[in-house]
C-alpha cells in the first residue's frame, strides 16, 4: 500500500535500499517517527504502534483509524 500523504523526508523512493536492513519480524511494529508512513504502509504489519511529534499529523491518522468510512466519502 502506498502512503496516504506526501511528507517531507519521506522514504518511499528509498524502500528498496532500506529493506536490506529491516529484519524479518513477527511481533509488533513500532514507528516513533511516522511522518508519511512509507515503510509502515509497505510492510503492512498486523500489529503496530505509530507516533510522531507532529500533533496534527497524528490527529489525521487517528481520524483515518476511527472514522475511515466518513473520510472515504
**Model confidence pLDDT, tens digit, residues 32-66:** 999 999 999 999 999 999 999 999 999 999 999 99
| Residue given cell 529491516 in the structure block | 22
Q: What is the pTM of this model?
A: 0.80
Q: What is the DSSP letter of 56?
A: H
Sequence-separated (6 or more) residues with CB below 8 Å from residue 60: 5
C-alpha cell read off for 52: 510522531
- Whether the per-residue pLDDT at 30 is higher than 90: the answer is yes
Amino acid at each position: 500500500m502506498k502512503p496516504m500523504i506526501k511528507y517531507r523526508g519521506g522514504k518511499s523512493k528509498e524502500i528498496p535500499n532500506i529493506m536490506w536492513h529491516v529484519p524479518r519480524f513477527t511481533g509488533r511494529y513500532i514507528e516513533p517517527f511516522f511522518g508519511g508512513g512509507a515503510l509502515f504502509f509497505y510492510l503492512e504489519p498486523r500489529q503496530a504502534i505509530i507516533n510522531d511529534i507532529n500533533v496534527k499529523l497524528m490527529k489525521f491518522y487517528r481520524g483515518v483509524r476511527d472514522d475511515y468510512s466518513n473520510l472515504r466519502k
